[in-house]
Structure 1
């Protein structure tokens, strides 16, 4: 559960704009147009290249935070760009997959839930940052992000991955194994997204109500 937001001063900067954590974040942002470009090659090769870039970008999401902690290299630009890079990566992958119907039918609801939650929580965090209130990121929220990345990785492979595993028993007559697992994980991550999003909004609302009382 998310704790009640606490009034905190902004953390001090300990790194410049070209520190290693920030360079990794810049790289994650640069990966977004690269994924779009190779995805629209329109072949299995394009999907595998998009997946490779997506995986590399997802790994930088862990590494930039890790290096920032162990080397004490926090910065304002890093705190600003890190969540932006994450959301650009997730939103771009979802839009690409919807555009070619890899995500279609009822699964569009799961994609929409994820997008709505990311945008809404970003707005909430921006509002609370203005009044210097910190909403801690929960362990479940971190798992949610990891689950989203894994689901999107399976779906980016999609039909290309299905062909590789075509000899294995299929769990659905309409979907290959890789696509099926990707959509299943997408739904699970959407459900976790709803739970963690509700938690954040409840914590923010408690702060707003406490300020008004």
Structure 2
């Protein structure tokens, strides 16, 4: 195995995947949300850099080709598990997350069955867009968690009448309630929208991969 710079970045991204969940075990919120967000975004950025560097420097290796999709899937699956676990289990979040997890498990199982032949089924540009939307959606939902926790801390010592007066503009917003509520709402809506787009692309690319694999699954 060649420990080139792209391979090292990919391995670090693979290690960062469980690190996202560990943040919530050893740190309280919103510190855990911040650490998870920074760790996830940093790992997502290396996903672009390691591929670019490998192609530009002629350092494409079998190890990198093997680790890269595993690191991507680990990042997405573990991050979605954490987000769903800390959510209110809304179907608008659970359904696209379920679609994404199902596709990843199904395609991984299909690739394992096909073995070496799976390498002949090339990754499409749509699959790369799928991964991009997944990463952006998850990062946005982590950001929503930051706003949500700050908002919860702010309103903890306020009564409902005061909260209503501040949000309606009848009282001065000395607690920053408005921007925290707006941040939580907009990142939540944007994150869910992007996650549904990612889920749609995930199902489309999964079906495309299955159709391409069908000739290889026929009995002799």
How high is the TM-score relative to the length of structure 1?
Answer: 0.81
> Match for 1:143 among 129, 138, 147?
129
How high is the TM-score relative to the length of structure 2?
Answer: 0.78
Shift of 1:103: 5.4
> Match for 1:52 among 31, 38, 51?
38
How many residues end up aligned between the 2 structures?
193
Q: Give 1:17's aligned residue.
A: 2
Unmatched tracts of structure 2, length 5 or more: 152-175
Separation in structure 1 between the aligned mates of residue 119 and residue 66 of structure 2, nearest angstrom: 15
Alignment of 1:197-208 (within 5 A): 197-208=206-217
Q: Which has the higher contact order (CA 8 A, sep 6+)?
A: 1
Unmatched tracts of structure 1, length 5 or more: 1-15
Moved over 6 A (4+): none
> Match for 2:29 among 33, 43, 49?
43
Shift of 1:159: 3.2
Shift of 1:43: 1.2
Shift of 1:59: 1.0
Q: Give 1:31's aligned residue.
A: 16
Computed over aligned residues only, the root mean square deviation of the Cα atoms, in angstroms, reads: 2.4
Q: Which has the larger radius of gyration?
A: 2
Which has more helix, going by share of residues? 2
Alignment of 1:1-213 (within 5 A): 16-40=1-25, 41-101=27-87, 104-131=90-117, 133-161=119-147, 163=151, 166-167=178-179, 176-209=185-218, 212=220
1:168/1:35 CA distance change after superposition, 3 Å: closer
The answer as to whether partners of 1:103 and 1:183 remain within 8 angstroms in 2 is no
